[in-house]
Homo-oligomer: A and B are copies of this chain.
Amino acid sequence: MLVGVVGGGQLGRMLALAGIPHGHRFRFLDPDPACPASAVGDVVCGAYDDPAALERFASGLDAATFEFENVPAATIDALSALVPTAPGSRSLGVAQDRIAEKQFFRSCGIRVQAFEAVSTEADLAAACGRVGTPAVLKSRRMGYDGKGQSVVRSVRDLADAWRAVGGVPCIYEAFVDFSCEVSMIAVRARDGDVRTWALSMNEHRGGILHRTVAPAPRLPAHVVEEADRAMRTAIEALGHVGVLAIEFFVTPDGLVANEMAPRVHNSAHWTIDGAVTSQFENHVRAVCDEPLGSTDLRGASGMVNLVGSMPDRADLLSVPGARLHDYGKSPRPGRKLGHVNVCAPDERVRDAQLRVLEELVARAAAPVRAR
């Protein structure tokens, strides 16, 4: 099959690396002809809302998908009219609007924190009165990796927060008192078959995912089951086809859903080396209407993101068991340049490998001292 992917970033690149061994070929729609995915397929160069580029992109495709949820819904609707496209616009619509997302979770019986929709500065004051502080003000749309967010610690922060998010429609969310963040990743086929991977435990730094371990350690079985059940309810309710990710906060009262992504997700990059079938391969299988593959674990897995600057490559590659995934991007502060996976026989070995990798990452990030 010729598979089209809207977006040619690292997620598109890893989808192609997983799908090419199945005999598929890939084409990407991206404004940048030298995007990371250009190493593994043709790039139709154009804006995501350019109808002529979209037509060139769609011509001759057997199936299509997208690699990020901020693609215009109109683009996916137009694409769906030309070629079988998954996930559908329902999943995309819910994920693009933080209010719709929270309401969707509630409709599935999944707990969310207190929140209010905010369209004006007066709304914000009212929301703060009802929800209280501390809280976070986030743009309803187009936010990722901590962008478009502002923390409200007291009513005195409201004016600054409103300016910081640029006065766009927002969501005002109560802070959640959580012990850790986990994510559940699943894939659903066109025939309704659903598979979940082991629950992942995530650590963020500066609003960007720093590291993930799987299976999530030191969690009672009922929490893992709760995440699995919530995911299965949500993915069915959406009629989703492909990979879906839901991030949860772990609280003393159980899980609180934070957000979802209707696509392959950074917190499941470990599945490339740590699961029998990776999230990328199973997403391609679902999009191409192939049977899903086993999501069984291959060991105790971990992932460290390479953000902003690349550690020394020879050092990284010399860490026993380290699996490098370099996206081929030029370094820039806050930019995800790659990740390193480990998959070890047990948690102790995995944690030792991760410590070495995190040390290398920290060294690359540290400014060079004057002597």
- A: residues with CB less than 8 A from B are 13, 17, 20-23, 25-26, 39-41, 276, 285, 290-291, 293-294, 298, 313-314, 317-318, 320-321, 323-328, 338
Which residues of the partner chain B approach A313 to less than 8 Å between Cβ atoms? 22-23, 290
Which residues of the partner chain B approach A294 to less than 8 Å between Cβ atoms? 320-321
**Please, how many angstroms separate the alpha-carbon atoms of A320 and B39 in the complex?**
31
Q: Cβ of A326 and Cβ of B21 under 8 Å apart? A: yes
From B13, B23, B328, A326 is in contact (CB under 8 Å) with B23
A21 CB to nearest chain B CB (Å): 5
From B23, B317, B323, B328, A290 is in contact (CB under 8 Å) with B317
Which residues of the partner chain B approach A291 to less than 8 Å between Cβ atoms? 314, 317-318
Q: Cβ of B22 and Cβ of A324 under 8 Å apart? A: yes
**Please, how many angstroms separate the alpha-carbon atoms of A17 and B26 in the complex?**
13
Q: Cβ of A20 and Cβ of B39 under 8 Å apart? A: yes
Residue with the highest number of chain B CB atoms closer than 10 Å, among A25, A39, A40: A39
**Please, how many angstroms separate the alpha-carbon atoms of A134 and B327 in the complex?**
56
Which residues of the partner chain B approach A324 to less than 8 Å between Cβ atoms? 21-23
From B40, B321, B338, A23 is in contact (CB under 8 Å) with B338
* Listed A/B pairs (24) with beta-carbon separation below 8 Å: A17-B20, A17-B21, A20-B39, A20-B328, A21-B323, A21-B325, A21-B326, A22-B324, A22-B326, A23-B326, A23-B328, A23-B338, A39-B40, A40-B40, A276-B321, A285-B317, A290-B313, A290-B314, A290-B317, A291-B314, A291-B317, A291-B318, A293-B317, A294-B320
**Please, how many angstroms separate the alpha-carbon atoms of A41 and B326 in the complex?**
16
Which residues of the partner chain B approach A39 to less than 8 Å between Cβ atoms? 20, 25-26, 40-41
Which residues of the partner chain B approach A323 to less than 8 Å between Cβ atoms? 21
Which residues of the partner chain B approach A326 to less than 8 Å between Cβ atoms? 21-23
Which residues of the partner chain B approach A321 to less than 8 Å between Cβ atoms? 276, 294
Closest to A276 in B: B321
Which residues of the partner chain B approach A328 to less than 8 Å between Cβ atoms? 20, 23, 25
A223 CB to nearest chain B CB (Å): 27
Residue with the highest number of chain B CB atoms closer than 10 Å, among A26, A41, A323: A323
Closest to A298 in B: B298
Closest to A272 in B: B21
What 15 new A-B contacts, CB under 8 Å, besides A20-B40, A285-B317? A20-B39, A21-B324, A22-B326, A23-B313, A23-B324, A23-B327, A25-B39, A26-B39, A39-B40, A39-B41, A40-B40, A290-B313, A291-B317, A293-B317, A294-B320
Which residues of the partner chain B approach A285 to less than 8 Å between Cβ atoms? 317
What are the 3 closest A-B residue pairs judged by CB atoms, nearest first?
A23-B326, A291-B317, A291-B318
Which residues of the partner chain B approach A40 to less than 8 Å between Cβ atoms? 20, 39-40
Residue with the highest number of chain B CB atoms closer than 10 Å, among A20, A40, A291: A20
Which residues of the partner chain B approach A338 to less than 8 Å between Cβ atoms? 23
Closest to A26 in B: B39
**Please, how many angstroms separate the alpha-carbon atoms of A338 and B22 in the complex?**
9
Which residues of the partner chain B approach A298 to less than 8 Å between Cβ atoms? 298
Which residues of the partner chain B approach A26 to less than 8 Å between Cβ atoms? 39
Closest to A337 in B: B23
Residue with the highest number of chain B CB atoms closer than 10 Å, among A40, A294, A318, A325: A40
Which residues of the partner chain B approach A13 to less than 8 Å between Cβ atoms? 20
**Please, how many angstroms separate the alpha-carbon atoms of A352 and B20 in the complex?**
27
**Please, how many angstroms separate the alpha-carbon atoms of A321 and B294 in the complex?**
7
